[in-house]
Amino acid sequence: MTLLFAEDGLIVNLSDPEEKTMDRLIEKAEKQGYHGRVKKFTDYKQLCKALSKPRLLVFSLPHGGVGDKVLEGLMPNLEKGDIILDCGNEHFANTERRQAKCRGTNIRYIGCGVSGGYQAARAGPSMCPGGDESALRDVMPLLEKVAAKDKDGKPCVGIIGKGGAGHYVKMVHNGIEHGMMSAICEAWGILVKMGLGYEEIGNILKKWDSNGELKGTFLITIGADLSHKHDDKQDIKGNEHPLVISEVLDKVVQDVTGEEGTGVWSNQEAIEHHVPAFTLNVAHAFRLASAYRGDRIKANEVTDGGFPPQQLNIHDKDSFIEDLRKATYAACLASYIQGMHLISRADQAHKWDINYGNIWKIWRAGCIIKADYISDEILAPILLSSSLKAENIHLLFQKRVATDIRNAYPALRRIVSKVVETDQVAPALSATLEYYKIVTGTDLPTAFYEAELDYFGSHMFDKKGEKGTNGPLEGKFHFEWKPVRTQSQ
């Protein structure tokens, strides 16, 4: 982002605990022709002195304590009207705590989610700012200049709402990202078990990316791209231009997916706000389980080899792959539905006044969950409606979404049946099937759950025929399922 700002003509005053990191960046800036535009500072006093007023301080820090420490160090050197633009993946509650702290000294704090990875940070990321309104108005022209641009040339940035809303929406973006990535890697695993080569799989992903419901989905685009990447050099056997994915995936990459935190938070928040986020929850649990490789190895031994996915013998490959495409879309759509549901619940609870049209703008390009079909066909008609209110945002109730679910559901069911039959690993796809079944169901076996709760704990139940409730509610009726013991019994 330093280079991005420098490219835009700004003088960037850097501060980093590692002087070498700053030196490297300055060297890069010089090489790229931004002579004298990047300067380094080793103490906050000098840094703040060098900045023109009102100062704009951009944080790009790991979340948690680091941000607090940096803020504490900067505060004595800041003045009324200065702006902090926190571009880290920060927890929204930390952002709101710091905003409250800064308010006392009239320093303006913006929590800004930044998406797109390190390459987008350089080329122009998608940005999701929220917080102090006057500060947001002041920084928007700059952010609009440097942000990613969508296919119509519009910047992928917009004011999200009050308080920590910007960081919250970015956190949910990452929850959706996890759901989508899980579904895509599960589909990839199934294609491998069909005996297809990596490049063949790359061709399939390329097709998915060019047409239909997964059209223009960034995570599919890069999946196709990385499946086709050939190295410039020879491999150790002397083969010219080996396929990188074979070199890397087969020999180097462990089946372990770590995490930085935003996935944990989005799932905690979903539970906190009583949002059934099956796909996001299970995608996250999948990542967690993958990280326990040592335990998996032990469990594999004690279960005599576990339950490895069997090779798939598919008779009609084309129609199976088409089913898989639809199933993958169903899980990506479910991730969006669950994420938007969470945002609308949190918005109502925190009174952030979220601008949903701006979420659409921000997710349209430059970010990891960019998905053209979903953006154009699903989100645009809903999120761009002028009469939109947070309480009315549930993608599940929209006609177009319902049609797509109806269309994809049989394919999803066929894929999950095959998955079950042949022990394929497909947690997010399977959870998505349950999700659609349950959230559209009106005859769930939870009636028996309720009866048992009432039996042992007098938890009370709702009666059939009562108007549907939304969210957890205390039941009103109790039945004495067994006679109460008297003292003499």
Residues that bind ligand 6PG (CB under 6 A): 89, 115-117, 174, 177, 259-263, 367-368
Closest distance between ligand 6PG and the C-beta of residue 373, in Å? 20
Cβ-based nearer residue to ligand 6PG, 55 or 167? 167
Residue 113's SS3 state is: strand
- Answer yes or no: 177 catalytic: yes
Contact 43, 11 (CB under 8 A): no
Q: Is 349 strand, coil or helix?
A: helix
CA-wise closest residue to 333 among 343, 325, 345: 325
Q: Catalytic residue at 247? A: no
**340 contacts 393 by C-beta, under 8 angstroms:** yes
Half-sphere exposure of 135 (CA within 13 A, CB side): 31
Residue whose C-alpha is closest to residue 3's, from 87, 144, 119, 81: 119
Separation between Cα atoms, residue 14 and residue 23, nearest integer Å: 10
Beta-carbon contacts of 24 under 8 Å, excluding residues fewer than 6 positions away, are none
Tokens 């223009």 sit at which residue?
A: 216
Q: How far is the CB of 407 from ligand 6PG (least distance, A)?
A: 29
Whose CA is closest to 172, among 387, 395, 386?
395
Active site residue: 170, 215, 361, 418, which one? 170
Q: Which is nearer to ligand 6PG, 283 or 321 (CB)?
A: 283
Residue closer to ligand 6PG, measured from CB, 115 or 432: 115
Q: Which is nearer to ligand 6PG, 180 or 429 (CB)?
A: 180
CB of 336 to ligand 6PG, least distance (A): 15
> Which residue's CB is nearer to ligand 6PG, number 89 or number 355?
89
User: Nearest approach, Cβ of 374 to ligand 6PG (angstroms)?
Assistant: 16
Among 90, 96, 177, 186, which one carries the catalytic annotation?
177
Token pair 């394929």 is found at 424
In whole angstroms, how close is the CB of 398 to ligand 6PG at the nearest point? 25
- Residue 243, classed as helix, strand or coil, is strand
14 beta partners: 40
For ligand 6PG, which residue has the nearest CB? 115
Choose among 143, 162, 165: nearest CA to 154: 143
Least distance to ligand 6PG, CB of residue 148, Å: 11
What residues have CB less than 8 Å from 374, skipping those under 6 apart?
Answer: 213, 217, 332, 333, 336
Please report how close the Cβ of residue 114 comes to ligand 6PG at its closest, in angstroms. 7
C-alpha distances (whole Å) from 223 to each of 54, 124, 210, 290 are 44, 21, 13, 20
In the bound state with ligand 6PG, the residue whose beta carbon lies nearer, of 163 and 175, is 175
Cis peptide before 54 (omega within 30 of 0): yes
177 or 186: whose CB is closer to ligand 6PG? 177
**Angle subtended by helix axes 427-439 and 278-291, to nearest 10:** 160
Catalytic residue list = 170, 177
